[in-house]
């Protein structure tokens, strides 16, 4: 068989298949990352941030309940002491 020279296609013929490809890619599943990739990304994000992970009010009530049950009396705590406990607890996690 003899080879024939390919003629260039018109622009109108090129745009139609590209539109179909774009439509197919938008309907495809979302990207699936390897195990651990997203976890490492979250760890790096939380290490960069300085805000607390646990809400302050529920942590404060938890600390007060633990102190009440442990010492059988109501002790007053400074807000800075509770904040230091919370930062230490989150650093431990």
Residue 73 phi/psi, 5° resolution? -155, 160
pLDDT confidence of residue 61:
93
Q: How far is C-alpha 56 from the chain's CA centre?
A: 21
Percent of the chain surpassing pLDDT 70: 77
Q: DSSP character for 29?
A: P
Residue range 27-66, pLDDT digits in tens: 777 888 889 999 999 989 988 887 788 899 999 999 999 9
């Amino acid at each position: 068989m003899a080879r024939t020279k390919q003629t260039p296609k018109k622009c109108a013929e090129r745009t139609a298949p590209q539109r179909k490809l774009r439509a197919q890619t938008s309907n495809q599943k979302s990207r699936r990352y390897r195990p651990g990739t997203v976890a490492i990304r979250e760890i790096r994000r939380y290490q960069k941030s300085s805000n607390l992970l646990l809400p302050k009010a529920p942590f404060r009530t938890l600390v007060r309940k633990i102190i009440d049950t442990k010492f059988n009396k109501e002790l007053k705590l400074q807000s800075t002491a509770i904040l230091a406990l919370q930062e230490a607890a989150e650093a431990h996690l």
